[in-house]
Amino acid sequence: MKCDIILSLVFYFCGCFYMVYGAVIIAIDAKSKVSRLFLLIASSLAIWSFSCSISNSAPTAQVSAYWRSFSAFGWGVFSSLLLHFLLVLTKTESRLNKRAMFVILYLPALINIILFGPYGLLAEKQYQMAQTDFGWVNMAPMYAERIWLNLYYIIFSIASIIVLFQCWNKTESYPPREKRQIKRFIVSILFVFLIETVIDVLPDILGKKYHPQLPVVSLLIPTIMIFPLLKKTVRIERKNIIHPFLGTEKDLDGDRVRLFNTVTVIFMLGSALSFLIGYFGMNRNLGNELLLAAFLLLMGMVVKCIPLITKNQTAQNSIFLIISISCLLYFIIKHAGTGGLTVWAIYILVLLFTVVLGSSHAYVITAISVVVQIVFWIILPEVSVTIDINEYVARIFIIVLSFVAVQYLINEFTAKIRGYQRFAREQEVLEKISSSFISVNSKNVREKINEMFEMAVEILEFNHAYITGFGQDYKDATIVNMYMKDVDRESFPYYPGMRFSTAELPMFKFLIEQNEPIVCEDTANISFDKDGLHRDYFMSRGVKSFLAIPITIDNKTGGIFFIEYRDRIDGRLAESRLNFLKIIANILGDARNKALYEERL
């Protein structure tokens, strides 16, 4: 295989990586501003990579120049997107004027596209392609207008470095693991800036360019390094770190959303593989292969948007069925000359997903597939085919996608079984707690609450739990009951009967006034805690997450039930535990009301 083809494949696989990577992040939470910006960055890198891939092994210099100019939609906006992303990630954006910021960030990017994009004002001057052993290399000499590009890169890189160092200075208060992740990401970004300056900018300024430009490949390093940090940041933004639950309901369509996300990824991979085999493997027409890849990518986006198009499950199933059958028939018709060799097996993927959608769609898919094979049997009773490397690659890809589909189904049903088991155990424990409070009175109420702690820790798995009561004016709070899983007075320096002022924590004011629960998944990053009071209060005791729920007594907030953890808790797990905690809070409120009635009598 020639060096230019190998390098084109390197660019192409980088583009596939960026495309899938962006899809993974946006799947975590499409509403997060961080994830949306990262998707734009990944998209710009993917466009950059795919354009370089086609340009590097193009048949003529004109075709190579056109696709190199098309890459301006990638590199031309990348530095602007990166700086915007860093400003949001480090929470610096909130201190800037948004309108002025957008103009400063994206006006230069727009100028880049106007000047150096397809049919741009300086496109002919900018792209002068020369053939080398590594493919087409842009040998355009330095000229006055080209200085703009170097200034754009240098200015935005310096601004990004300044933001990164500001972030570095803030890491001292972070936990060791997060500190390492942030510093690795910053070092990797600085490393890429250095490499890009040495292999791209300096040769461009000096007019010595005898090698392919590979900055888009080197950007793989920081992209990989940021994933753990970005995944955590997106989840934090999605949950707002600490927030009231104004009522929760189970996501009954969660399994369908995950199904559509999985199918979207499969369509994206199918689009990438189709172009890879058709253009690079079989040397088919570039335009036709691009249209096919774009069609598959568009179908994937439509599948992703199905839950947004309609909430009706029957309509969702119908849309999915139409898209699946259309793609299946297209591939079979396209390969009709070989009897649908290899691609006939695609129907297995659709058939697997009908396990979630319903059996009626399985009948339709099966019937259509059988009819197609009968038609081939009649039209082409015998056909001779040649099986080459492209067919083997397609078979391997279908096998891998089938494995992904099967793993998805296994994970879905395993999660459901575990959920049912956990739900059954929760109901059993709640029944025991409720039964134990039937005989509660003013004399044994503390003993009953202690028994409740012992039973609840099995489900809630907390390290500390305590219940506070309030005085008449809510100025003071008293520890009524408490539980420690591990005896450690440094992490929990309280004792029953201890009194403290509610003014020490503003959180009490919200709980009392709103009478709504609060969940905190990470005490190190409490968004509204500007002065760090809550963070210091919890982290000084080694508490990394907590739940708090008011206990209603006589139609007003009579106490707070806290449970604390030394580890962070996942959002879904927190919601499940909060639902369990709400029921216990209601039981405690009823028990206290009963004791009060006895005292009044």
Structure tokens at 459: 């489900």
pLDDT for residue 593 is more than 80: no
pLDDT for residue 415 is more than 80: no
* Rounded average pLDDT over 194-212: 60
Residue 191 and residue 294 in one domain: no
- CA dist 534 and 562 (Å) reads 14
Count of other CB atoms within 10 angstroms of residue 29: 17
pLDDT for residue 106 is more than 80: yes
If one compares 243 and 499, the residue with the highest pLDDT of the two is 499
Residues 523 and 510 sit within 8 Å (Cβ to Cβ): no
Q: Which amino acid is at 490?
A: E
pLDDT for residue 75 is more than 70: yes
DSSP 277: I
Number of domains in the chain: 3
- CA dist 459 and 32 (Å) reads 31
Q: Among residues 394, 427, 460, which one ends one of the domains? A: 427
If one compares 283 and 357, the residue with the highest pLDDT of the two is 283
Residue 56 and residue 193 in one domain: yes
Q: Among residues 427, 458, 491, which one ends one of the domains? A: 427
Half-sphere exposure of 569 (CA within 13 A, CB side): 24
Tokens 């907030």 belong to which residue?
557
Alpha-helix runs per DSSP H in 437-565: 445-460, 507-514, 533-539
Quick: pLDDT tens for 227-267: 666 665 554 444 443 444 433 334 445 667 777 888 888 88
Q: Packing angle between helix 254-275 and helix 3-28, nearest 10 degrees?
A: 170
Number of helical H runs and strand E runs in the chain = 22, 9
Quick: pLDDT tens for 111-152: 999 999 998 888 888 888 888 878 888 887 777 777 888 888
Q: For position 442, which CATH number holds?
A: 3.30.450.40
In a domain, residue 244? The reply is no
The pLDDT score that the predictor gives to residue 247 is 39
- CA dist 513 and 506 (Å) reads 11
- CA dist 515 and 560 (Å) reads 10
Residue 542 and residue 468 in one domain: yes
If one compares 489 and 376, the residue with the highest pLDDT of the two is 376
The pLDDT score that the predictor gives to residue 249 is 38
* Rounded average pLDDT over 192-210: 61
Residues 569 and 578 sit within 8 Å (Cβ to Cβ): no
Tokens 């120049």 belong to which residue?
65
Residues 266 and 274 sit within 8 Å (Cβ to Cβ): no
Domain extent, residue 485, equals: 437-600
Residue 392 and residue 317 in one domain: yes
DSSP 276: I
The pLDDT score that the predictor gives to residue 575 is 78
* pLDDT tier for residue 46 given thresholds of 50, 70 and 90: very high
The pLDDT score that the predictor gives to residue 264 is 85
The pLDDT score that the predictor gives to residue 81 is 92
Residue 203 and residue 131 in one domain: yes
* Rounded average pLDDT over 157-174: 74
If one compares 223 and 136, the residue with the highest pLDDT of the two is 136
Residue 585 and residue 459 in one domain: yes
Residue 324 and residue 457 in one domain: no
Quick: pLDDT tens for 311-346: 888 888 888 888 888 888 888 888 788 887 887 888
The pLDDT score that the predictor gives to residue 113 is 93
The pLDDT score that the predictor gives to residue 96 is 79
Q: Packing angle between helix 286-309 and helix 313-334, nearest 10 degrees?
A: 170
In a domain, residue 246? The reply is no
Using a cut of 0.95, tell me whether the model's pTM lies above it. Answer: no
- CA dist 202 and 243 (Å) reads 50
